């Protein structure tokens, strides 16, 4: 189940993974990507690395970038996966580009 | 040998800091594997998961009005209203448990299920991290790992003030999308609703459930742990940590 919208002028998208967790992604001022939700990431610092990678992504395949990052840093995602993050990233880019 | 720290009541920042301090001391070999049982000072508290946004998950104004403390946990997972319940924490080397995150959740949650069975309650594990009774959540847990140590804490609901709970908590309705529920209030239950046991009996049952098959002794936090707790409390009291997302 997905929901995408503008919230306080910011593009926001949420996905509830069936049998998993809720993941919310928003684009803050300056294009900074923020991810929140009731999921688990081990180690915790892995989430900031993911946010940094997506915030700095100008062009390219978010799925491939995230897959490499997660593999190289040994990040474990519990309750969601790289595909969910990539869909969220594409979703908020879509909101940013299409909403008035 | 396991150390059990018996049921105690502290404020929100203290509870999170002491769990953190115990896990650090277990990791450095200064403390034995530990199970702690605790409650939260009245009128209760809300803990949010490591990656949640307080503004998205809570009615912060309602928390302030009701005097309910807000604290961010070191562990992931969802927001919890700590009111009439018993919280546990387990801090122990990873190799004490089944390999893998899912296996260790199941293993620790099995202690809760066993404890509830002593009260005549049939409970089941619902992956990833819940215990359910009659299809409704009665317990949730959250785990993190650092320096070879698992820290898992969780709550077992004894009583339930649904109106207050969902005044304070504002979960996204998307969370209902994979459950056969029309509202969050339908999805939770508590010990008091399914048995006449007292909260003291619940504690005794949980103590038995967690310690069965283990060598253990009752203990208290060490001087090292208390010193580390004191240093960590500031973090758990700070807006910088609690409202960092």
The torsion defined by the Cα of B169, B178, B154 and B205, in degrees rounded to 10, comes to 110
Task: Write out pLDDT tens, residues A53-89.
Answer: 999 887 678 999 999 999 999 999 999 999 999 999 9
| Contact present, A81 and A62 (Cβ < 8 Å) | no
Q: Tens of pLDDT along chain B (245 residues)?
A: 999 999 999 999 999 999 999 999 999 999 999 999 999 999 999 999 999 999 999 999 999 999 999 999 999 999 999 999 999 999 999 999 988 899 999 999 999 999 999 999 999 999 999 999 999 999 999 999 999 999 999 999 999 999 999 999 998 888 777 776 677 888 999 999 999 999 999 999 999 999 999 999 999 999 999 999 999 999 999 999 999 98
Which two structure tokens, joined as six digits, stand for B212? 């069965």
- The number of helices, as runs of H, and strands, as runs of E, in chain A is 3, 6
Using pLDDT thresholds of 50, 70 and 90, give the confidence band for residue A6.
Answer: low
Distance from CA of A38 to the nearest CA of B (A): 4
Task: State the residue range of the domain holding B144.
Answer: 2-242
> pLDDT at position B171, please?
84
The CATH number linked to B190 is 3.30.930.10
> pLDDT at position B177, please?
73
CB atoms within 10 A of CB B29: 8
Most B-contacting residue of A15, A26, A34, A38 (CB-CB within 10 A), to test interface: A38
Which two structure tokens, joined as six digits, stand for B109? 């949650």
Please tell me if residue A78 touches chain B, with a CB cutoff of 8 Å.
yes
Using pLDDT thresholds of 50, 70 and 90, give the confidence band for residue A7.
Answer: low
> pLDDT at position B185, please?
83
Q: State how many domains chain B has.
A: 1
Identify the closest residue of chain A to B144 by CA–CA distance. A42
> pLDDT at position A5, please?
66
> pLDDT at position B174, please?
81
Identify the closest residue of chain B to A24 by CA–CA distance. B52
Task: Write out pLDDT tens, residues A33-60.
Answer: 999 999 999 999 999 999 999 998 876 7
């Amino acid at each position: 189940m997905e929901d995408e919208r503008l919230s306080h002028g910011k593009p926001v998208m949420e996905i509830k993974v069936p049998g998993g967790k809720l993941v919310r992604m928003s684009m803050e001022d300056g294009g900074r990507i923020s991810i929140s939700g009731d999921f688990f990431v081990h180690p915790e610092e892995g989430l900031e690395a993911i946010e940094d990678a997506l915030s700095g992504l100008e062009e390219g395949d978010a799925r491939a970038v995230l897959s490499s990052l997660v593999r190289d840093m040994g990040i474990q995602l519990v309750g969601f996966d790289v595909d969910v993050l990539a869909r969220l990233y594409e979703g908020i880019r879509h909101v940013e580009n299409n909403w008035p | 040998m396991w150390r059990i720290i018996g049921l105690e009541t502290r404020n929100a920042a203290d509870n999170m800091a002491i769990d953190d301090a115990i896990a650090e001391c277990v990791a450095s070999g200064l403390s034995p594997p530990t199970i702690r049982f605790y409650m939260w000072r009245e009128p209760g508290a809300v803990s949010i998961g490591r990656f949640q946004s307080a503004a998205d998950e809570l009615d912060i104004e309602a928390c302030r009005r009701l005097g309910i403390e807000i604290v961010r946990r070191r562990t992931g997972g969802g927001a919890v209203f700590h009111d009439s319940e018993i919280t546990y924490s387990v801090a122990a080397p990873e190799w004490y448990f089944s390999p893998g995150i899912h296996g260790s959740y199941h293993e620790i949650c099995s202690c809760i299920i066993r404890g509830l069975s002593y009260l005549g309650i049939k409970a089941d594990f619902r992956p990833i991290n819940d215990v359910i009774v009659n299809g409704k959540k009665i317990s949730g847990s959250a785990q993190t790992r650092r320096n070879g140590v698992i820290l898992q804490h969780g709550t077992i609901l004894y009583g339930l003030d649904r109106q207050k709970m969902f005044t304070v908590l504002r979960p996204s309705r998307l969370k209902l999308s994979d459950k056969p529920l029309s509202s969050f209030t339908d999805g939770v239950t508590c010990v008091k609703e399914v048995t006449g046991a007292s909260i003291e009996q619940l504690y005794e049952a949980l103590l038995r459930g967690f310690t069965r098959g283990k060598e253990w002794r009752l203990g208290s936090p060490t001087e090292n742990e208390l010193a580390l707790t004191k240093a960590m409390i500031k973090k758990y009291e700070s807006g910088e940590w609690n409202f960092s997302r």
